[in-house]
Amino acid sequence: MESMGESRKHVGVLGLGRMGTALAGALLGAGHDVSVWNRSPLKAGPLLDRGAKLAATPAEAASADVVLSCLSTYDSQQPVLEAAGLSGRPLVNLTSGTPEQARTAAKWAASAGIDYVDGVIMAVPQQIGTPVAQVLYSGSEPTFAAQRDVLAVLGTPVFVGEDAGLAALYDLALLGIMWSTMAGYLQALALVGTEGVTPEQFTPMALAWHSAVAGLLPGIGEQVASGDYATDVSALDINAAGLAMLVETSRGQGVSTAVPAVLRELFDRAVAAGHGSHAIASVIEEIR
């Protein structure tokens, strides 16, 4: 971590769930002065042992150089922020939510004279304070730049744009990839498991296949950007037929078809719309 010197700041942290506690701990470890507030003060014990100051109210925690909010929901967060009296202070909101919730919070902050940055944490609490943790930010770029030294303590900071909702949009888009990948993997394990294939046997092959598929993403992105879906490699109709076989085989093996059936329906719609001879990238036209 960087030496504090003149960059040492007083940081207020609102919310001490697992993630809020990890954030406050990383800041203490980097030498910042940290005030913490939580509805249940008992959660602050380990942080107080490390030098944090327990604030009796949100306003007391907010009397800092910068305030980080990491509460369970936007609905539970709003009364806390209103009670904090943040006018004139920078607020970095790390509460998870939708893009629209982030934009609404940014509008409220602007009306209250608060410099607002919205952030989403692409990591688990145990990774906070390491380069592995990536945190996406959007909103006020000057505020982000002014607080970058603090934010860099939490993980690798990435600014994605001045629209306050962009960080949440990136977050959900990336999580969609994660959830789809995990669901596909679990479907595969269930399918091969019907014939006694263990996860230990199958997973190395799945990892190699996943790496190969990941290598296709830049090309798919280029096709989407250009709108040119011509292909001489693997047409959509062939893949739609493959999905039909996956659905049929899953059903025959006594496995739920919920995961592949959704994709089959989507691919079939794209074929019916005239994209059968096009690349898989053409499916985005149906998604849109």
User: What CATH number has the domain bearing residue 72?
Assistant: 3.40.50.720
Residue-range definition of the domain harbouring residue 272:
170-287
Q: Is the pLDDT of residue 4 over 50?
A: no
Burial-class residue 78 by CB neighbours within 10 Å (0-12, 13-18, 19+).
middle
Asked whether residue 132 falls in the same domain as residue 150, the answer is yes
Q: How confident is the model at residue 7 (pLDDT cuts 50, 70, 90)?
A: confident
Q: Per residue in 241-271, pLDDT tens? A: 999 999 999 999 999 999 999 999 999 999 9
Q: Supply the pLDDT for residue 239.
A: 97
Asked whether residue 62 falls in the same domain as residue 193, the answer is no
Chain-wide mean pLDDT for the chain? 96
Q: Per residue in 26-41, pLDDT tens? A: 999 999 999 999 999 8
Higher pLDDT among residues 4 and 48, named by residue:
48
Q: Per residue in 236-249, pLDDT tens? A: 999 999 999 999 99
Helix (H) or strand (E) holding 34: strand 33-37
Asked whether residue 145 falls in the same domain as residue 187, the answer is no
Cα gap 34→53, rounded to integer Å: 6
Question: Residue range 170-189: average pLDDT?
Answer: 97
Mark which of 162, 193, 215 sits at the end of a domain: 162
How many domains does the chain fold into? Answer: 2
Q: Supply the pLDDT for residue 3.
A: 42
Mark which of 114, 131, 162 sits at the end of a domain: 162
Which two three-digit tokens encode residue 178? 């994660």
Asked whether residue 143 falls in the same domain as residue 283, the answer is no
Instruction: Spell 84-112 as b/e; 16+ CB within 10 A means b.
Output: bbbeebbbbbbbbbebebbbbbbeebeee
Cα gap 78→66, rounded to integer Å: 17
C-alpha distance from residue 129 to each of 21, 28, 35 (Å): 12, 10, 18
Question: Residue range 211-223: average pLDDT?
Answer: 97
Question: Residue range 273-281: average pLDDT?
Answer: 97
Do 4 and 31 contact (CB within 8 A), yes or no?
yes
